[in-house]
Structure formats: structure tokens, C-alpha cells
Homo-oligomer: A and B are copies of this chain.
Amino acid sequence: MENRLKELRAERGWSQADLAERLDVSRQTVNALERGKYDPSLPLAFRIARVFGRPIEAIFTPGQEDET
């Protein structure tokens, strides 16, 4: 699963810690998500979508794994 977290965060001039606070998760979680270590839960994906004012589909895109 690919995502535009880093890009969207940068646009807003937020640190990973800033974003983590807005999402109510740990800084390490934001870091792991940006680096593609794992995917967020659906509830967290909704919070991310809300923070950035975009639909989930505009932030996350299923990669090779889910394409068929």
C-alpha cells in the first residue's frame, strides 16, 4: 500500500510529531506509516483522511498486492 503522507505533511509544514498528535497516535507510528512499514487501521485511515481533508482513496493506493 502506497501513501502520500510525507508529501501532504510537508505541504503543511508539520513534523511527524505534529501529525502524530493530530492523529492521536505515537510519533513512531507516523514514521512507520510514512516509510511503508505497515498500513494504518481503517479507523486511523479515516482520521488521516479527515486531517488532510481528502478522501482515503486520494491518500492511499493499494499496490501490487491488491490489484487483481
Contacts and interface: CB of A to CB of B under 8 A. Distances in A.
Nearest to A49: B57
B43 A41 contact: no
Contacts of A57: 49, 55-56
The bracket for how many chain A residues form the interface is: 10 to 19
A11 interface: no
Contact of A42 (B41, B47, B55): B41
Nearest to A58: B55
A44 B55 CA distance: 17
Contacts of A46: 60, 62, 66
Interface of A: 1, 39-43, 45-47, 49, 55-57, 60, 62, 65-66
